[in-house]
């Protein structure tokens, strides 16, 4: 046994939910997490600075994953769309946040422990 | 002015570097950040639990972005590949961590403030 053997899967981050980790969706779900009664499409678009097409596309992914629910309605004669987190979506988001906290703790620790930069290559190595 | 108007771009997360945010690359760069003298391909593969093909593909993305440097060498007659963070890669990683900390603070705040779940839809809305 060598004490230099790296810990298998130490940085695999299996729990980092790809549906929620994607940058735009992370913004969308964080916006919605703050508002239990939901957000209108227009407000969500402004908060996340997404185009109509991009927001629609990401909402479809989130709806198919059961993370958001989408409600159609009217304000006078104008159609409106209200989006909310589902209960299971909120639960999944909380789990994601817990994993993200662990990743960040790793990252801060890594950044601190690896601060000393060696400029010399080990024997037998040359730049590719 | 309405106090209900959402803050434009509040959750756009522009600073969330897509090259580093991707789940596998986040694991790779965090592994490397902890080790100033670099990691061999095999060790990196084990730490991140990636296939040869996946690790190669992500390392190419990171190398093209100037985040990692790749060195070829030999151990006896066996070829070896050593990967290290570049100085600018480390800087970019530290910036990413700072943004991720802000996102996480947002997420924790959102999860707390939106805890109360309303089950009733506003007037004029029905499930889509």
Whether the pLDDT of residue A58 is over 60: the answer is yes
Interface test with A, best of B87, B91, B110, B127 (most A CBs within 10 A): B110
For residue B120, the model assigns a pLDDT of 75
Q: Is residue B122 exposed (0-12), middle (13-18) or buried (19+ Cβ within 10 Å)?
A: middle
Q: Stretch A88-100: mean pLDDT, rounded?
A: 95
pLDDT above 90 coverage of chain A, percent: 72
CA distance A70 to chain B (A): 6
What confidence tier does B56 reach under pLDDT thresholds 50, 70, 90?
very high
Q: Stretch B1-13: mean pLDDT, rounded?
A: 72
What confidence tier does B1 reach under pLDDT thresholds 50, 70, 90?
very low
Express the helix, strand and coil content of chain A in percent, nearest 5 each.
50, 15, 35
Q: Stretch A110-128: mean pLDDT, rounded?
A: 74
What confidence tier does A2 reach under pLDDT thresholds 50, 70, 90?
very low
Say how many C-beta atoms besides its own lie within 10 A of residue B37's C-beta: 13
Q: Is residue A86 exposed (0-12), middle (13-18) or buried (19+ Cβ within 10 Å)?
A: middle
Whether the pLDDT of residue B116 is over 70: the answer is no
Using DSSP's 3-state secondary structure scheme, residue B115 falls into coil
Contact with chain A for residue B78, Cβ under 8 A: no
For residue B64, the model assigns a pLDDT of 98
| Whole-number Cα distances in Å, A119 to A127, B41, B84 | 12, 19, 10
Give the helix/strand (H/E) hosting B125. Answer: strand B125-127
Encode pLDDT of B60-97 as tens digits: 999 999 999 999 999 889 999 999 999 999 999 999 99
Using DSSP's 3-state secondary structure scheme, residue B84 falls into strand
Residues 83 to 112 of A: which have CB under 8 A from any B CB?
85, 87, 90, 93-94, 97, 100-101, 103-104, 106-111
For residue A128, the model assigns a pLDDT of 58
Q: Stretch B4-11: mean pLDDT, rounded?
A: 78
Whether the pLDDT of residue A4 is over 90: the answer is no
Mean pLDDT over the full length of chain A: 89
Whether the pLDDT of residue A111 is over 90: the answer is no
What confidence tier does A125 reach under pLDDT thresholds 50, 70, 90?
confident
Give the helix/strand (H/E) hosting B78. Answer: strand B78-85
- Of A69, A74, A80, the C-alpha closest to A45 is A80
Mean pLDDT over the full length of chain B: 89
> Which residues touch B99 (CB under 8 Å, ≥6 apart)?
B13, B15, B16, B17
> Which residues touch B57 (CB under 8 Å, ≥6 apart)?
none
Whether the pLDDT of residue B109 is over 60: the answer is yes
Whether the pLDDT of residue A78 is over 50: the answer is yes
Contact with chain A for residue B47, Cβ under 8 A: yes
CB A114 within 8 A of CB B94: no
Whether the pLDDT of residue B119 is over 80: the answer is no
Whether the pLDDT of residue B5 is over 90: the answer is no
Whether the pLDDT of residue A117 is over 60: the answer is no
> Which residues touch B5 (CB under 8 Å, ≥6 apart)?
none
């Amino acid at each position: 046994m060598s004490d230099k053997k790296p810990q298998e899967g130490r940085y695999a981050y299996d729990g980092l939910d790809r549906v929620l980790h994607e940058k735009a969706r992370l913004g969308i779900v964080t916006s919605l997490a703050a508002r239990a009664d939901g957000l209108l499409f227009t407000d969500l678009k402004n908060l996340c600075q997404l185009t109509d097409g991009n927001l629609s596309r990401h909402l479809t992914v989130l709806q198919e994953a059961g993370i958001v629910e989408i409600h159609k309605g009217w304000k006078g004669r104008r159609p409106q769309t209200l989006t909310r987190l589902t209960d299971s979506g909120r639960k999944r988001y909380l789990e994601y946040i817990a994993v993200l906290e662990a990743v960040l703790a790793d990252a801060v620790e890594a950044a601190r422990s690896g601060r000393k930069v060696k400029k010399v290559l080990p024997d037998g190595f040359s730049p590719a």
